[in-house]
A = this chain, B = another copy of it.
C-alpha cells in the first residue's frame, strides 16, 4: 500500500487559473488537507475526505498529511497561490526533516500554482517586468526589524517589490511603518499597487503614488506591489520597463 503526498497550489482564486496537473491530482486524491477557506474550494465527492483546519497550525497539518500518506492515502495538501511561496510546502519539508526517517522516502511532489503577485501584476499590467523581490510582511515568524531591513536593501537595489500579508488587525501599525520607510526613501511619486481579492469577483486594483497611499487600504486579502524607480504608467496600465 503505497501512499503519496502532493502539495498543490490552487492559484489566487479563479477556477480558470488552476493548472490541469493540480486538477488531476485533486481528482485522484483520497484526502485533501488545508486551511479552511482553501479546502472550501474543493468540490466534495464520494471517496474524498476533506480535512479543513484553522490557520497557524501549519506544522500540525503537515504532520497529519505525512502520517496519512505513510499509511497509504493519496493526500493533497492545498495552498492558495503557489505552495512554495509563503505557503505549505516549507512546512511539509520542515515536518519531513523532523519526522521519522521513512517519511523521506515517501512519494512527495510539489505542484506549482499562480502565486498572488503574478495575478496581481497581470491585473495591473506588468509591474514585475524587471528584477523584483517578494517579502512576507507578517512578523509571526520573524522579527519586524528584519522586514524593515529587507525593504531598505530592496530599495537600495531598486527592486520592484511584492508584499504578502501586508496587514492584519493584530498588527495594524507595521504596514504604516513600511509605508513611511518607502515614502522617505523612494519619494512621493513612486507607484504602489493595492490588489485585493485578485482574480475573484471581488477583485479591486488601486494604483496610487506613495504620497496618496493609506495603510488602511491593505488587509490580509491584499497583495501590495511597489514599483522600482523605473516603474511607470501607460494609460491604465502600470509596467516596469525591461531595461530597469
Chain A interface residue count, Cβ-Cβ cutoff 8 angstroms: 73
A93 CB contacts on chain B under 8 angstroms = 125-126, 129, 234, 237, 239
In the complex, the answer to whether B237 meets A90 with C-beta atoms within 8 Å is no
In the complex, the answer to whether B118 meets A84 with C-beta atoms within 8 Å is yes
With contact pairs A110-B125, A135-B131, A153-B156 given, residues A85 and B21 touching in the complex (Cβ less than 8 Å): no
A202 interface residue (CB < 8 Å to B): no
A121 interface residue (CB < 8 Å to B): yes
A192 interface residue (CB < 8 Å to B): no
Main secondary structure of the interface of A (DSSP, over half): mixed
A45 interface residue (CB < 8 Å to B): no
Q: Which of chain B's residues has its CB closest to A91's CB?
A: B242
A132 interface residue (CB < 8 Å to B): yes
Interface residues of A in 86-122 (CB under 8 A from B): 86-87, 89-94, 96-97, 104-105, 108-115, 118-119, 121-122
In the complex, the answer to whether B112 meets A133 with C-beta atoms within 8 Å is no
A15 interface residue (CB < 8 Å to B): yes
A168 CB contacts on chain B under 8 angstroms = none
In the complex, the answer to whether B90 meets A121 with C-beta atoms within 8 Å is no
In the complex, the answer to whether B104 meets A112 with C-beta atoms within 8 Å is no
Interface, chain A (partner B; CB < 8 A):
11, 14-21, 24, 58, 82-87, 89-94, 96-97, 104-105, 108-115, 118-119, 121-123, 125-136, 141-142, 149-150, 153-154, 156-159, 232, 234-237, 239-244
Can you list the 5 inter-chain pairs with the closest CB atoms, starting with the nearest? A104-B235, A90-B129, A89-B126, A97-B234, A133-B133
